[in-house]
Amino acid sequence: SFIIRLARTGGEHLVGADQTIAGVLRDAGVAIETSCEQGVCGTCLTGVLSGVPDHRDVFLTDEEQAAGDKIMCCVSRAKTAVLELDI
Ligand code: FES
């Protein structure tokens, strides 16, 4: 599990092993658009301000994944204890 910190909305939320970032945001009432929920379509693209994403999508290019400044919230996770999102 890891924590997402919401830079603009404020607040921190735990993402458990059986949860997704998108699901936790939805449960917290934070609006984020999703569509495929499988890391394919690109709808849930979100900026990352700090922390290291653990990319599980097939939407971002290898280069974009390596840059680590955006994440697909429906499938991807974090390699660091805290992931700060531009939400
Ligand atoms: Fe399609 Fe996340 S909802 S990539």
pLDDT at 31 (0 to 100) = 87
What ipTM was assigned to the predicted interfaces of this complex?
Answer: 0.99
For ligand 1, residues with CB inside 6 Å are 34-37, 39-44, 57, 59, 72, 74
Residue 42's contacts (CB-CB under 8 Å, 6 or more residues apart) are 59, 72
Q: Which atom of ligand 1 is nearest to the CA of 34?
A: 3
Sign of the Cα torsion 41, 83, 53, 38 reads: negative
Q: Which atom of ligand 1 is nearest to the CA of 37?
A: 3
pLDDT tens digits for range 5-52 = 999 999 999 999 999 999 999 999 998 999 999 999 999 999 999 999
pLDDT tens digits for range 23-33 = 999 999 998 99
pLDDT at 8 (0 to 100) = 96
pLDDT at 40 (0 to 100) = 98
Q: Which atom of ligand 1 is nearest to the CA of 39?
A: 4
Q: CA 58 to CA 87: how far, in whole Å? A: 22
